[in-house]
Amino acid sequence: MPTGAASGPSRDCPLCPRLVGLRLSLREQHPAWFNAPVPSFGDPAARLVIVGLAPGLNGANRTGRPFTGDYAGDLLYRTLLKLGLATGEYRADPQDSLTLVGCLITNAVRCLPPANKPLPEEIAACRPFLTGQLDALPSARAIVALGRIAHESVVRSRGGRLKDYPFGHGAPHTLPGGLRLFDSYHCSRYNTNTGRLTETMFVEVMTAARDFALA
């Protein structure tokens, strides 16, 4: 396990040369941006964990908080506020008053990948941080995986075999160790624009996960 797996990667994590190269060039182009592995955000007593894919260029990679500053975050944080899983105001800025209540957001990959597509070896290199994060949440009961990559990394991080856990929007699974996993299509602009994911579908799966986690 890499150093700091429980607490997350260091700002200069060296594990993925391609992602380090992108990080260094963005630090030159945009010195005021965060440009580093993005830490988890939320409640250390979380009963519900939301696992995204990876930071977006103008979202988490710029602001330093998962899903903060991009389209996917608008839908995610609006839904969390609607379901009572967040309080305060989301203003797409880590300095806003948004607080997560009983939930925590993390990513399968902590660094910005080119074209939002991490390579299999990058997903694998970052998995110990996901494992460390999940292990550090003793109250967690349920996980929402946003998209197939998050789903597969969560299954592997819990020691499951992918063939026993087929990804499907709305599909609940019980993972080795007992956590309940709810799958959702990723709340990206692409998926909502193409109609693969509607806001109603997203709210439904998040409601099911919340109700299980808080019961």
Does 100 interact with ligand URA (rule: CB under 6 A)?
Answer: no
- Min CB(34)–ligand URA separation in Å: 11
Query: In terms of Cα–Cα distance, which of 87, 93, 56 is closest to 72?
Result: 56
85: DSSP letter: S
Query: In terms of Cα–Cα distance, which of 6, 56, 15 is closest to 35?
Result: 56
Does 72 interact with ligand URA (rule: CB under 6 A)?
Answer: yes
Does 8 interact with ligand URA (rule: CB under 6 A)?
Answer: no
Does 67 interact with ligand URA (rule: CB under 6 A)?
Answer: yes
Shortest Cβ contact with ligand URA: which residue? 52
Does 90 interact with ligand URA (rule: CB under 6 A)?
Answer: no
- Min CB(185)–ligand URA separation in Å: 12
Does 107 interact with ligand URA (rule: CB under 6 A)?
Answer: yes
Q: Is the dihedral of CA 112, 5, 9, 214 positive or negative?
A: positive
Distance CA 38, CA 66 (A): 7
Question: What's the half-sphere exposure (Cβ side, CA atoms, 13 Å) at 126?
Answer: 32
Cβ atoms of 157 and 151 within 8 Å: the answer is no
Site string for ligand URA, 115-154 (x = CB under 6 A): -------------------------------x--------
Does 113 interact with ligand URA (rule: CB under 6 A)?
Answer: no
Query: In terms of Cα–Cα distance, which of 185, 177, 178 is closest to 203?
Result: 185
Identified binder of ligand URA from the candidate list 37, 42, 55, 113, rule CB under 6 A = 55
The size of the interface with ligand URA (CB under 6 A), counted in residues, is: 13
In the complex with ligand URA, the residue whose CB is nearer, 71 or 214, is 71
Does 37 interact with ligand URA (rule: CB under 6 A)?
Answer: no
Distance CA 108, CA 110 (A): 7
Does 39 interact with ligand URA (rule: CB under 6 A)?
Answer: no
Cβ atoms of 134 and 107 within 8 Å: the answer is no
Does 59 interact with ligand URA (rule: CB under 6 A)?
Answer: yes
Question: What's the half-sphere exposure (Cβ side, CA atoms, 13 Å) at 152?
Answer: 11
Distance CA 205, CA 207 (A): 5
- Min CB(174)–ligand URA separation in Å: 24
Contacts with ligand URA by CB under 6 A lie at: 52-56, 59-60, 66-67, 70, 72, 107, 146
